[in-house]
């Protein structure tokens, strides 16, 4: 949209942000999957429905984008306004569909695993997610390499539409294969939720919200998730520019920086899930991961003063390793800080924290760099990027402070008392 079609950057960024604006719906969709089984199951039908919707909307986005491009070329103010509104609305609907698919999915992980199994399950899930992202990026590059340098909409639209259609079919097929038969019926004795099935149906959204707000630990962990996610992704929008402006790296080299980070993250996820979390415990491993993130962010600043690109790649590899360790631990904590009676609702709250911080990271990463350039226009590029990384270091330190205040036992006691009150009101 930016390069070939010449859309304004504000429009592209703003439209994409509408997906994140729909993050609060995760709480609602989580509660619905808790309380209202569909086709005899609590999670998988919602996963299928959400996946069908967001893949369909992804296909519809292609003709809509090119229709808006025609409106820009014709100069009709009304057509442009309607096109922008439709594009933002489509991405908002896409965000709703993604929330509908992903929140019940994470709740299903809670339903089907015991506490001691979750570190390995989370590590495997996120490793496969990372592999999928890498494979998807490679497949996209190969499939669309014939479009390099092409900017004619008449040539671009049919190729992109066909490509998106094929991708959507693959996603639907993989989702069906991955989830078919994995969830027992809500009434089945095999279902891990059978002991609480009747109580789940009685818990309304208002009552689920009273469970969420019954413990101060929920607020502490919500703040930790936001700070932790920001500490991971604040540098993401400016990483390639850092390599280009400070290390004088060519485009191909800067594009590979994310691969070092991703490779380290994959290794960290496996290391934490298979060994560190079982050996050290969830809280200790999360603390270690956050401490390592802080250290490697400081090193990310330090290597900028050397201008040596090989050191930058090495630091990003280790930063990815720390990110993987912390991510696995944080996700396991997220699943533990969840009541089975309202698993979907709690997962929706934690998903909201992550989505908001990812959106803030995209917005603040580039925004802070612009502010640094505005305040010190004569300073070298390294100083501008270092200012952003120092803010990220401060956020990582805040995550450590919040993590130190997290108390799993207090959470279980508070929410357990609140659940007893909710059930007593229902009974009587």
Give yes or no: residues 178 and 102 share one domain: yes
pLDDT digits (tens, 9 = 90+) for 203-216: 566 766 677 777 88
Report residue 141 as tokens: 């590059």
Out of 186, 214, 239, a domain closes at 186
Q: Where are the alpha helices (DSSP H) in 36-117?
A: 44-74, 77-112
Grade residue 362 by pLDDT with cuts at 50, 70 and 90. confident
Give yes or no: residues 238 and 342 share one domain: yes
Give yes or no: residues 276 and 174 share one domain: no
Q: Where are the alpha helices (DSSP H) in 180-238?
A: 197-202, 205-212, 216-233
Q: Is residue 318 included in any domain, yes or no?
A: yes
Give yes or no: residues 155 and 107 share one domain: yes
Give pLDDT, residue 342: 72
CATH of the domain at 107: 1.20.1250
Q: Count CB-CB contacts under 10 A for residue 131.
A: 12
41 and 49 in contact (C-beta within 8 Å)? no
Out of 151, 186, 221, a domain closes at 186
Rounded Cα gap, residues 99 and 49, in angstroms: 11
Show the CA angle centred on residue 362, arms to residues 361 and 363, nearest 5°: 90
Gyration radius of the chain over CA positions: 23
Give yes or no: residues 71 and 125 share one domain: yes
250 and 309 in contact (C-beta within 8 Å)? no
pLDDT at 391 over 90: yes
Give yes or no: residues 237 and 174 share one domain: no
Task: Compute the average pLDDT of residues 63-70.
Answer: 86
Task: Compute the average pLDDT of residues 374-398.
Answer: 94
Give yes or no: residues 11 and 154 share one domain: yes
Q: Is residue 191 included in any domain, yes or no?
A: no
C-alpha pair distances (Å), 26 with each of 93, 100, 226, 329, 361: 13, 7, 16, 22, 19
Give yes or no: residues 397 and 356 share one domain: yes
Q: Is residue 197 included in any domain, yes or no?
A: no
Give pLDDT, residue 196: 45
Q: Is residue 193 included in any domain, yes or no?
A: no
Q: Is residue 109 included in any domain, yes or no?
A: yes
Out of 130, 153, 186, a domain closes at 186
Task: Compute the average pLDDT of residues 378-390.
Answer: 93
pLDDT digits (tens, 9 = 90+) for 313-334: 999 999 999 999 998 898 888 8
Q: Is residue 76 included in any domain, yes or no?
A: yes
Give yes or no: residues 167 and 221 share one domain: no
pLDDT at 359 over 80: no
Q: Is residue 91 included in any domain, yes or no?
A: yes
Give yes or no: residues 30 and 141 share one domain: yes
Q: Which domain holds residue 251?
A: 202-420
Q: What is the mean pLDDT of the chain?
A: 82
pLDDT digits (tens, 9 = 90+) for 247-258: 988 865 776 787
CATH of the domain at 227: 1.20.1250.20
Give yes or no: residues 221 and 150 share one domain: no
Rounded Cα gap, residues 254 and 240, in angstroms: 5
Q: Is residue 387 included in any domain, yes or no?
A: yes
Give pLDDT, residue 202: 45
Give yes or no: residues 100 and 211 share one domain: no
Total domain count, the chain: 2
């Amino acid at each position: 949209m930016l390069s070939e079609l010449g859309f304004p950057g504000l429009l592209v960024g703003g439209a994409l942000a509408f997906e994140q604006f729909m993050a609060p719906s995760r709480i609602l969709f989580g509660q619905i999957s808790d309380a209202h089984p569909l086709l005899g199951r609590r999670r998988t039908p919602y996963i299928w429905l959400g996946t069908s919707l967001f893949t369909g909307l992804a296909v519809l986005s292609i003709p809509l984008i090119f229709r808006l491009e025609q409106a820009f070329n014709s100069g009709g103010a009304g057509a442009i306004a309607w096109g922008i509104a439709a594009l933002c609305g489509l991405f908002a609907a896409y965000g709703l569909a993604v929330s509908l698919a992903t929140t019940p999915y994470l709740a299903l992980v809670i339903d089907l695993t015991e506490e001691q199994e979750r570190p390995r399950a989370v590590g495997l899930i996120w490793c496969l997610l990372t592999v999928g992202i890498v494979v998807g990026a490679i497949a996209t590059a190969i499939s669309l390499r014939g479009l390099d340098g092409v900017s004619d909409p008449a040539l671009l639209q049919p190729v992109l539409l066909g490509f998106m259609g094929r991708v959507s079919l693959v996603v639907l097929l993989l989702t069906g294969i991955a989830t078919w038969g994995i969830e027992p019926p809500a009434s089945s004795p095999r279902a891990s939720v059978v002991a609480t099935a009747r109580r789940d149906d009685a818990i309304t959204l208002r009552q689920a919200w009273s469970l969420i707000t019954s413990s101060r630990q929920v607020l502490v962990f919500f703040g930790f998730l936001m700070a932790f996610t920001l500490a991971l992704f604040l540098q993401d929008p400016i990483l390639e520019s850092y390599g280009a402006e400070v290390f004088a790296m060519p485009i191909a080299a800067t594009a590979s920086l994310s691969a070092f980070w991703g490779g380290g993250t994959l290794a960290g996820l496996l290391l934490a899930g298979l060994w560190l979390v079982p050996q050290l415990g969830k809280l200790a491993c999360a603390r270690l991961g956050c401490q390592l993130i802080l250290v490697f962010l400081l090193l990310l600043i330090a290597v900028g003063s050397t201008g040596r690109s090989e050191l930058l790649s090495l630091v990003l590899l280790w930063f990815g390793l720390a990110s993987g360790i912390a991510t696995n631990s944080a996700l396991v904590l997220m699943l533990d800080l969840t009541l089975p009676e309202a698993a979907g609702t709690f997962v929706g709250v934690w998903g909201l924290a992550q989505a908001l911080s990812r959106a803030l990271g995209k917005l603040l990463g580039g925004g802070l760099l612009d502010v640094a350039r505005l305040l010190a226009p004569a300073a070298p590029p390294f100083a501008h990027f270092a200012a952003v990384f120092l803010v990220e270091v401060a956020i990582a330190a805040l995550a450590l402070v919040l993590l130190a205040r997290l108390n799993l036992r207090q959470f279980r006691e508070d929410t357990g008392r609140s659940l007893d009150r909710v059930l007593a009101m229902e009974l009587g």
